[in-house]
Amino acid sequence: MKRMLFFGFLFASPQLFAGTQTDALTWYGIIPALLAIFLAICTKQVILSLITGIISGSIIQSFLNDSNTHFFGLDKVFDHYLLNSIADKGHASIILFSLLIAGSIHIMTKMGAFNGLIRWLSKYAKSKRSALLITYFMGFFVFFDDYANTLVVGNTMQRITDRFKISREKLAFVVDATAAPIASIAFVSTWIGYEIQLIKDGLESANFTGSDSAYGVFLSAVPYSFYPIIILIFVFILILTGKDFGSMKKFELTHSQSKTSQVEEGKCIHAIWAILPIVVLLFVTLFGIYATGNKDSSFVNAIQTGDCYKGLIWGSSSCFVVVFTISLFTKNRISENVNWMFEGFKSLLPALTILILAWGLNGVLEDLKLGEYIGYIMLNSNVPFYIIPLTTFVLSSIVAFSTGSSFSTMGILIPIVITVCLSFYTTEDFEFSIFYASIASVLSGAVLGDHCSPISDTTVLSSMATGCNHINHVNSQLAYCLVSGGVAVFLILLHSVFKINIGFVYTIGIVLIWLIIKVLGSLKFNTTGK
């Protein structure tokens, strides 16, 4: 059955959709996604790979719908896809947010605030394990947004982890694995409003009149978000055991055998001048989200309905103003601050280029309706009710990996999954636990696919924030994500098919993760590559 679905997905004829609401859907949308991912992995030239994906997708789109295109669709590469990726309000907010944070961090570094922070954290970071645990728990502290999480934690912990010869690849993984997973299941985050709105729309379109609100459905689904929870457990056990496997082990061994990097001490001021801007960033961002939301009912509802992009801009701009003011009080000249700010901006340009191109490719894939195509296959696969969580998880992972966007994946699949599940509502097969697990599987699969994809914006930001080569980050992280994803699949089967209690399921998952890390981490690894 699985093979039939897979090959049907790859080779189904466009005529399959004639006379339906999805008559514009074809399998061609997979071509630019696979091309970009394949070239990125093989050539390690991410920018070239993304451009190739956009060009190929634009050409395909011109042949499918040539009414508004010229030069075989090449005109749309720059004046449509790349322009829209920058012009989009959310994307522009992320770019501005990233630039302000980069400028603030560079000023703090130059004026000695980060040296003070490093000295303070060094009191607690006595080893590789403690340095990584600090990184891990900082990810929980910045729980409300994955972008803020990666940029704050990644930039803060670079020099501390360097002191203990922790590879940038390992740092990037810990940062990436504690960003989206936490934000996706936190009761209050920039993800929640979007997720709840999708659930609400799905329930309304299915004419479901159950007692649970959309937020209630989300809360009920959180325990079944196996991948985000499992990857967080995986990282914690990995740090405690001190073991690595796959490409990560190679990077860690190579880095540990290298000469100790000479960290330039330079100027040093009190750690409070680094902590204060970060605290301002977090609280102003959270306040901005709350202030722009619906405050008539509750704090939680206000966060759910708030404008996360405005919150990020308010927070990053406040952080920048505080940093600039502190720098003046520590007797730095305005001209120095401006130069340091632009140096911070400059350091972001390669990563921002990749980010803009990734958004452009996502726009191509949206026009080609790749996600809708995969969703249509699911809708018409006629799988048994108890298999829906597993099928949903796999398909959601595929869509997120192909598009590089967890939000797009959720937007496409949540309404479809809710419709499919509620079609069983009047049958004896229906169970609310499986219904909740199916919704959670969309969220979980979106995070897994996002983690594994080299064209994902959060993956790019994690590489950028930690100063890690992007392809190295993707390659080293892949084995860990796939192992966690495999464990998540097993747990979904235990719960949905074998009806095992959720608490016992997680107990099995923790034991399984520990065994996998102990066994794979004990295998000898040839660092020479021969």
Residue 145's nearest CA partner among 98, 100, 189, 101 is 189
Per-residue pLDDT of the chain (530 residues; tens, 9 = 90+): 333 333 333 333 333 333 334 445 566 777 887 788 788 767 767 788 888 888 888 888 877 765 555 566 677 787 788 888 888 887 788 788 878 888 887 888 788 877 777 778 777 888 899 999 999 998 887 776 787 788 778 888 888 898 888 999 999 999 999 998 998 888 766 677 678 777 877 787 777 766 566 777 888 899 999 999 999 999 999 999 999 999 999 999 888 766 554 445 557 777 788 888 888 888 888 888 788 877 666 776 676 667 777 887 898 899 899 988 988 887 778 888 888 888 888 877 876 787 788 778 878 877 877 666 766 666 566 778 899 999 999 989 988 888 787 877 887 788 778 878 887 887 777 888 999 999 999 999 999 999 998 888 889 889 988 989 999 999 999 999 999 999 999 999 999 989 999 999 999 999 999 999 999 987 765 444 33
Structure tokens at 89: 């309000």
CA 316: distance to chain centroid? Answer: 20
Element (H or E) spanning 209, and its range? none
CB 267 within 8 Å of CB 111? yes
Continuous H helices in 30-112: 30-43, 46-64, 75-76, 83-87, 89-110
DSSP per-residue string spanning 173-222? HHHHHTTHHHHHH-SSSTTHHHHHHHHHHHHHHTT---S--HHHHHHHHG
CB 468 within 8 Å of CB 171? yes
User: How does 292-325 read in b/e, with b if 16+ C-beta sit within 10 Å?
Assistant: bbeeeeeeebbbbbbbbbbbbbbbbbbbbebbbe
Structure tokens at 323: 């940093």
Residue 11's nearest CA partner among 255, 377, 265, 256 is 377
Structure tokens at 229: 């929870």
- What integer pLDDT is reported at residue 380 of this predicted model? 66
Structure tokens at 417: 């999954």
Biggest CA–CA distance in the chain, Å, is 74
The DSSP secondary-structure symbol of 260 reads P
Residue 417's nearest CA partner among 224, 268, 174 is 224
